[in-house]
Every structure is written in structure tokens, then in C-alpha cells.
Amino acid sequence: MDDAGSFLPLEVKPGREAALKAVRTLIAWAGDDPDRAGLKDTPDRVIRAYAEWFGGYAENPASSLSKTFENEGGYGEMVLVRDIDVTSHCEHHFAPIIGKASVAYIPSDRVLGLSKLARTVEIFARRLQTQERLTAQIASAIEESLAPKGVAVQIDAVHHCMMTRGVKHAGTSTLTQHFAGSFKTDADLRNRFLSMISSRR
Ligand SMILES: [Zn+2]
């Protein structure tokens, strides 16, 4: 669906000047003077930060996951990468979602370079997200490219919109999980994943 990157046709995507002007407008709307010395270069800094935070629209997770290797040794157990940094932004408030992801799969015929799991998390995280969708998208991308026997993803993250506005829920974190294939059908395997990601080194 949206895995190919930008959701906007290029001719609709606003240019740099329009983006700078939008940041100036938000500064003024907040009540400050966009022309005072400390804020003069802020629009430029903000759009450069946005380019980094939302760089995931320009990247296709399928191509990052396309390089797979033959499972030569016939490894049949879980491959787990845990505590992958998640830096995302909620689509409701543009506020940071900061946390950790753990991603596991049971190989079939093909295996992935380990860094590709973290890379997949990063590409989907660098978009406007809900944590639920982010979790499911990571799992689906791995399923589609690798056709493994099973995939498990857990994300534990703090939503800054919850911590800093409205009824302030400081100290809360949100846990989401997605299980597919053998992780869905085999409760023992699922429990092994959960105990492996909660055990500390
Ligand atoms: Zn939010």
C-alpha cells in the first residue's frame, strides 16, 4: 500500500519556500516574533530536522529487505534483534514517540543481514505514525520479503503528546505487539520471545 515511499505526488509536495513560510506562521501563531535574532534561522533548522525525522517517506523498506541470503546452515531457531531504537512522531500531534523495538523471525529458506531488521524499523519510524501501525508495518514488510516461518515485533514507547499535554500521563509507556506465522500459532514460542526480550544482559 504505502511502502513505496512518499504518499504525495511530487507536483503536490510543497517546495522549500512554502515549508519555511509555514514554520514562520507557526512561530507567529505561538506568539513570538519570527524575525527576532534567536528565531531568524529556526525555519531553516526546522525543515532540515523534518527532512531527517520524516526521511522514511523517501525510502522503500522492500528494497532494504530485498538482499537476503540462503539459509545455508539450515538455522531453524529464532533470530532476535532486541532494543532497536525507535524515534518516530505521532500522526495526531507531530509529537515524538521514543522507545525500543524487538524484532524476531524464524527463518525458512532465506535469512537477512541483521542490520536490515533495525533498518526496517527506522524507515517506517521516520514517518508520521501510530504505534499500532508501525508495529504491523514492520512485521508485514519482513513477512513479505522473507517469507519466514514466523515474525514477532514488540514496541515499547513513550508518547510525548501524552506526557506533555492535556491530562499529563508522565511515566506511561505503550506496548504493542504483532505476531504472525508460528509466533501466532505456538504459544510456547511466543512466550520464549517475550521472556528473551525481557531478560537483561
Ligand atoms: Zn499524539
Domain total for the chain? 2
Residue 45: which residues within 8 A CB-CB, separation 6 or more?
none
- Cβ atoms of 136 and 184 within 8 Å: the answer is no
Assess if residue 61 is contained within a domain.
no
Give the torsion sign (CA, 11, 14, 15, 17): positive
pLDDT of residue 182: 98
Do 43 and 72 have their domain in common? no
Do 175 and 94 have their domain in common? yes
- Cβ atoms of 148 and 106 within 8 Å: the answer is yes
pTM over 0.75: yes
Q: How far is the CA of 95 from the centre of ligand 1 (A)?
A: 6
Assess if residue 175 is contained within a domain.
yes
Assess if residue 62 is contained within a domain.
no
Q: How far is the CA of 89 from the centre of ligand 1 (A)?
A: 8
Do 48 and 139 have their domain in common? no
CATH of the domain at 7: 1.10.286
3, pLDDT greater than 60:
no
Q: How far is the CA of 159 from the centre of ligand 1 (A)?
A: 7
* 14 φ, ψ (degrees, to nearest 5): -65, 155
Tens digit of pLDDT for each residue in 12-41? 889 999 999 999 999 999 999 999 999 999
Do 10 and 109 have their domain in common? no
176, pLDDT greater than 70:
yes
Total residue count of the chain as it appears in this document: 201
| Cell numbers that stand for 198 in this block | 525481557
Is residue 93 annotated as part of the catalytic site, yes or no?
Answer: yes
Assess if residue 108 is contained within a domain.
yes
Tens digit of pLDDT for each residue in 38-79? 999 999 999 999 999 999 999 999 988 988 999 999 999 999
* Ion ligand 1 contact residues with beta carbon within 5 A: 90, 92-93, 95, 161
Tens digit of pLDDT for each residue in 180-199? 999 999 999 999 999 999 98
Name the residue range of residue 77's domain. Answer: 67-198
∠ Cα 29 15 30 (to 5°)? 10
